Amino acid sequence: MKKEIKFSLVFRDMWQSAGKYVPRVDQLVKVAPAIVEMGCFARVETNGGGFEQVNLLFGENPNKAVRAWTKPFHEAGIQTHMLDRALNGLRMSPVPADVRKLFYKVKKAQGTDITRTFCGLNDVSNIAPSITYAKDAGMISQCSLCITHSPIHTVEYYTDMALELIKLGADEICIKDMAGIGRPVSLGKIVANIKAAHPEIPIQYHSHAGPGFNMASILEVCEAGCDYIDVGMEPLSWGTGHADLLSVQAMLKDAGFQVPEVNMEAYMKVRALVQEFMDDFLGLYISPKNRLMNSLLIGPGLPGGMMGSLMADLETNLESINKYKAKRNLPFMTQDQLLIKLFNEVAYVWPRVGYPPLVTPFSQYVKNLAMMNVIAMEKGKERWGMIADDIWDMLLGKAGKLPGTLAPEIIEKAEREGRKFFTGNPQDNYPDSLDKYRKMMKENKWELGQDDEELFEYAMHPAQYEAYKSGKAKEDFLADVEKRKAELNKSPLDDAKPKTLTVQVDGQAYRVTVAYGDIDLPADATAKVDAPIGEGQDVIAPLEGKFFLTKNTQETPLKVGDKVKKGDLLCYIEAMKTYNAIRADFDGTVTAICATPGDTISEDDVLMKIG
């Protein structure tokens, strides 16, 4: 009989690999006892950056959710683990050092045992502080090798990285094959090399099923000495999700490994509850295509955990492209056509931006950059026209050292725009900020929370936390659920009902009614609409998303009456998890701000007026 292989249920990632959201805390607490009853899990992945932000988007408190969700597993002796993005903490952009330190103390107090730290650039210098912070807080420090496939990312590259992390104090190593594109034999060699040097270090393998490699990869890493395997379960396994528990168990048992038995009665309870949650509202955010395996994913190497939100984003981007085409009587694009163009563009962009491993946040950065290029080219414009500030930070070295080199056209663009490359310690760019947030919370009369967990949440996710505290997040979320349910139940005849729209003719706004067939028009069907307050040129939204005047408290929001110069930052549109800076195209004075922070805006909406 071969060695024992233990299983970890990646329940949080199962959901985010399928769609946009994870279950609410009441649903998580409902399913936890049945997961425990299954009797086969040594570990459960409970939380992480996406988990925190999803709860804030729900208008719910993520700290209460983590405490309630981890509690039943602790009582059963099951370890819990979470994702940590190193320099980025639990968000898409870098975090001050004092906030990073507080993060580990808070999560340990809330009941999380293991922090799975990764740097999206595989920059060990970004991971090193997290090892110290985690161990100081009493957590197990599990450090990740973000697996991708390129001329740079060889077996030797990953072996050397693992040995360096262990030397720095990592307790465990995770082989984080986030896109499932690691080649099985190479992965086996990496594990074997680590075990040969450090047989005492536990190794956990995480992968996604999409490209089709991961069952072979699981067998290879187990043969090489892997200790823990991350698994999913139906109805959220396979596709862009993870290999299914039952299939992995059967394969490893046949190969002679010791594997835990599964309480099938409890398994069916969990399966039924997962389906119940999908039927409640979560299925509204899951694309049917994410249930499919797709060998096309081998090329772009996009991670399974991102594919859930990607398919939702494609709907918005497709609408934007087709609006442009409709105005010019061009043939519409289908979602499949857009997906293929996006995959091809990712393959084009990736080597030119230095081969960052495609994992959060850099997978989103590369994908967003590719998507912006596709949208631009479909609208007759050139590549590289819109690069968000966070993406520039990656390109300029402010997020860490890129594995490869930038293409000449990127370097030329940076120099043309006066952008400076950075070679120092990225953490130095982000000064401590907890004192400032303490002061702001005191001014708002907000509690710091048990173990300072509310202070941590505000400092980690400022804009999202404010939307949660104001009630706007919950209001927007519930409205979106109702909208999606209405769309799902919409009759085909609904499209034939009269619709009242506002249009502009020669600069004058009119209200018009559009319908099929003959109808009686209301008296105000062609009434003029009063012009908005403020005169001047419109600042138009180049894409759909959420409007924000600032992305953090270091920035001062513009107000009516402020003078701006060409190139000045005006506001942001948050789309595809990235804040896209909107800058002035001309000098002038802000005469009107036409949206409220947090509002969802459409492409071509007027954001501001500058006179």
Q: What secondary structure letter does DSSP report for 237?
A: B
Average pLDDT, the chain: 88
Q: Which CATH superfamily is domain 1-5+15-40+147-294 in?
A: Aldolase class I (3.20.20.70)
CA gap 411, 405 in Å, rounded? 10
**What's the average model confidence in pLDDT over 305-313?**
65
pLDDT in tens, 346-386: 889 989 999 988 887 888 888 888 888 988 888 888 889 88
Least confident residue range of 35-44, 67-76, 125-134, 496-505: 496-505
In the chain, domain spans: 1-5+15-40+147-294, 299-429, 492-531, 533-611
Q: How confident is the model at residue 522 (pLDDT cuts 50, 70, 90)?
A: very low
Specify the pLDDT at position 528. 38
CA gap 304, 359 in Å, rounded? 10
Least confident residue range of 89-103, 412-426, 501-515: 501-515
Q: Where are the alpha helices (DSSP H) in 198-258?
A: 214-223, 245-254
The DSSP bridge partners found for residue 231 are 9
pLDDT in tens, 425-470: 999 999 999 999 999 999 999 999 999 999 999 999 999 999 999 9
Residue 504, pLDDT > 60, answer no
**What's the average model confidence in pLDDT over 124-133?**
96
CA gap 117, 127 in Å, rounded? 7
Residue 516, pLDDT > 70, answer no
CA gap 457, 226 in Å, rounded? 35
What tokens appear for 597 in the block? 């922070």
Residue 115, pLDDT > 50, answer yes
Specify the pLDDT at position 381. 86
Rounded to 5°, the CA angle 429-433-435 comes to 155
Residue 307, pLDDT > 90, answer no
- Taking alpha carbons only, the member of 601, 12, 576, 85 closest to residue 309 is 576
The winner for highest mean pLDDT among 1-5, 155-159, 331-335 is: 155-159
Sheet strand arrangement including 578-583: 578-583, 569-575, 545-548, 600-601
pTM score above 0.85: no
Specify the pLDDT at position 380. 85
pLDDT in tens, 226-254: 999 999 999 999 988 999 999 999 999 99
Of residues 363 and 419, more confidence is placed in 419
In percent, the amount of the chain with pLDDT more than 70 equals 90
CA gap 357, 366 in Å, rounded? 10
Residue 565, pLDDT > 60, answer yes
**What's the average model confidence in pLDDT over 206-216?**
93
The reply to whether domains 1-5+15-40+147-294 and 533-611 share a CATH topology is: no
Residue 46, pLDDT > 80, answer yes
Query: 499: buried, middle or exposed (CB in 10 Å: 19+, 13-18, 0-12)?
Result: exposed
What tokens appear for 476 in the block? 């927007």
Q: How confident is the model at residue 514 (pLDDT cuts 50, 70, 90)?
A: low
Give me the CATH code for the 533-611 domain, please: 2.40.50.100
**What's the average model confidence in pLDDT over 84-94?**
91
- Taking alpha carbons only, the member of 570, 567, 568, 576 closest to residue 546 is 576
